[in-house]
A = this chain, B = another copy of it.
């Protein structure tokens, strides 16, 4: 099968017309079947594998090369509400001023399809020097509830040396973004409960306060911009010179970002410091805290319960399990009587800039886009890359070759992708594969 760009665009529109909203349960099997057939038509062995949730589309193409690359994408999309705010039908895939409008155009069907066609071109030119495996998930937009179980059950099938994750986009100045990893996450819910009911606050003289218990405990965890949990900073990998150079190159306009985030100030004035902290510092954030009366005016109540949600973003090689245990021990030893539940744990991933995967992703981006990519040592946020690196033992992972840009509105009405970016992502995939081995 050899097809031209218009046919690629047409196939892209066809999958966009399938309303594969995992939250609604619509179009799931249709999208999976579409992908299975598409791979098969390219000569790629493909199958639909049932999971405890929506099916996974699996594909594999063996060249006999020593290295295997796993390509991860998802075929499910976000729901379309608020539906009446769409000016283009969400599942019509209509073209307008050089863009294609549809739910999932950017997140993640555009990237998925561009990669497929880039691979097809590489195959056509005999420029594929690795084995390929494909994992197309159908539950990413509802939090991938069954992915870990599925991957663990199918370790051998998904064994690979490197992985290209979903995510990434075309950023400022039309420079493609390459993220060499992700920060990890430890999300902890803390709860203090001292009684069965709120009391009159005059009893604060003799009744324990869950709110103070929680606040004093939290202050013991983080104060003066420093996490006080023993060992928290111990396993942080020092930055290499390559890492430092990548940080230096990162574009960041302080005034523009301040206004875009609605902030009066960042924590630091110095641009280099801001970039370094953003990508390489772990965080300890209060995502939420609640206790007692928070309405208008003065109510004098001694609350029976206080709750907080704390999220830590972790950098290599901090370990969320070890940090959680250490936090529990630390607060217990200090005498705080708290319930502590880990609501999320993800390991940080950072692929060294001098690996073949990173190098070739960067050089092929320069070749394709004619400009330097925006490289992130790791994204400041979290993605479950550790499923691949820890559960499958994959050595290197990047998020790259995204088709969205800063007006793509992923997850919002009128999601769209520039046709030119779709074309460039195909080229980037092809160029990457021609170099990567």
Instruction: Determine whether A229 belongs to the interface, using a CB cutoff of 8 Å to chain B.
Output: no
Task: Judge whether B215 and A277 touch: CB under 8 Å.
Answer: no
> Which secondary structure dominates chain A's binding surface?
mixed
Task: Judge whether B222 and A263 touch: CB under 8 Å.
Answer: no
A222 to B195, CA, bound (A): 21
Shortest distance from the beta carbon of A169 to any chain B beta carbon, whole Å: 15
Copies per complex of this chain: 2
Shortest distance from the beta carbon of A239 to any chain B beta carbon, whole Å: 15
Instruction: Determine whether A253 belongs to the interface, using a CB cutoff of 8 Å to chain B.
Output: no
| Residue from the list B195, B219, B299, B380 in contact with A203, Cβ < 8 A | B380
Task: Count chain B CB atoms within 10 A of each CB in A206, A298, A302 and give the residue with the most.
Answer: A206
Contacts A199-B261, A298-B311; is A204 near B283 (CB within 8 Å)?
yes
Which residues of B are found within 8 Å of A301, using beta-carbon distances? 287-288
Instruction: Determine whether A359 belongs to the interface, using a CB cutoff of 8 Å to chain B.
Output: no
Shortest distance from the beta carbon of A217 to any chain B beta carbon, whole Å: 9
| Residue from the list B195, B219, B343 in contact with A298, Cβ < 8 A | B343
Task: Judge whether B216 and A219 touch: CB under 8 Å.
Answer: yes
| Residue from the list B264, B293, B379 in contact with A195, Cβ < 8 A | B264
Which residues of B are found within 8 Å of A224, using beta-carbon distances? 216
A380 to B199, CA, bound (A): 13
| Residue from the list B206, B287, B379 in contact with A268, Cβ < 8 A | B206
Measured CB to CB, the nearest residue on chain B to A268 is B206
Shortest distance from the beta carbon of A100 to any chain B beta carbon, whole Å: 27
A23 to B381, CA, bound (A): 52
Which residues of B are found within 8 Å of A283, using beta-carbon distances? 201-202, 204-205
| Residue from the list B195, B279, B285, B294 in contact with A289, Cβ < 8 A | B294
Which residues of B are found within 8 Å of A222, using beta-carbon distances? 212, 216
Shortest distance from the beta carbon of A362 to any chain B beta carbon, whole Å: 23
Task: Judge whether B204 and A261 touch: CB under 8 Å.
Answer: no
Contacts A208-B265, A313-B205; is A294 near B290 (CB within 8 Å)?
yes
Shortest distance from the beta carbon of A150 to any chain B beta carbon, whole Å: 21
Instruction: Determine whether A281 belongs to the interface, using a CB cutoff of 8 Å to chain B.
Output: yes
Task: Judge whether A286 and B294 touch: CB under 8 Å.
Answer: no
Task: Count chain B CB atoms within 10 A of each CB in A207, A268, A292, A307 and give the residue with the most.
Answer: A207
Task: Judge whether A207 and B304 touch: CB under 8 Å.
Answer: no
Task: Count chain B CB atoms within 10 A of each CB in A197, A201, A263 and give the residue with the most.
Answer: A201
| Residue from the list B202, B261, B303 in contact with A183, Cβ < 8 A | B202
Shortest distance from the beta carbon of A299 to any chain B beta carbon, whole Å: 6
Instruction: Determine whether A382 belongs to the interface, using a CB cutoff of 8 Å to chain B.
Output: yes
Which residues of B are found within 8 Å of A285, using beta-carbon distances? 201, 204, 209, 211-212, 300, 302
| A218-243 to B contact mask, C-beta < 8 Å, 1/0 | 11001110000000000000000000
Instruction: Determine whether A324 belongs to the interface, using a CB cutoff of 8 Å to chain B.
Output: no
Instruction: Determine whether A99 belongs to the interface, using a CB cutoff of 8 Å to chain B.
Output: no
Instruction: Determine whether A25 belongs to the interface, using a CB cutoff of 8 Å to chain B.
Output: no
Task: Judge whether A380 and B287 touch: CB under 8 Å.
Answer: no
Instruction: Determine whether A248 belongs to the interface, using a CB cutoff of 8 Å to chain B.
Output: no
Measured CB to CB, the nearest residue on chain B to A188 is B298
| A32-75 to B contact mask, C-beta < 8 Å, 1/0 | 00000000000000000000000000000000000000000000
20 contacts between A and B (CB under 8 A): A185-B300, A202-B313, A203-B278, A205-B277, A205-B281, A207-B263, A207-B266, A208-B267, A262-B304, A285-B300, A286-B292, A288-B294, A288-B299, A288-B301, A288-B303, A289-B289, A289-B290, A289-B292, A290-B291, A298-B311
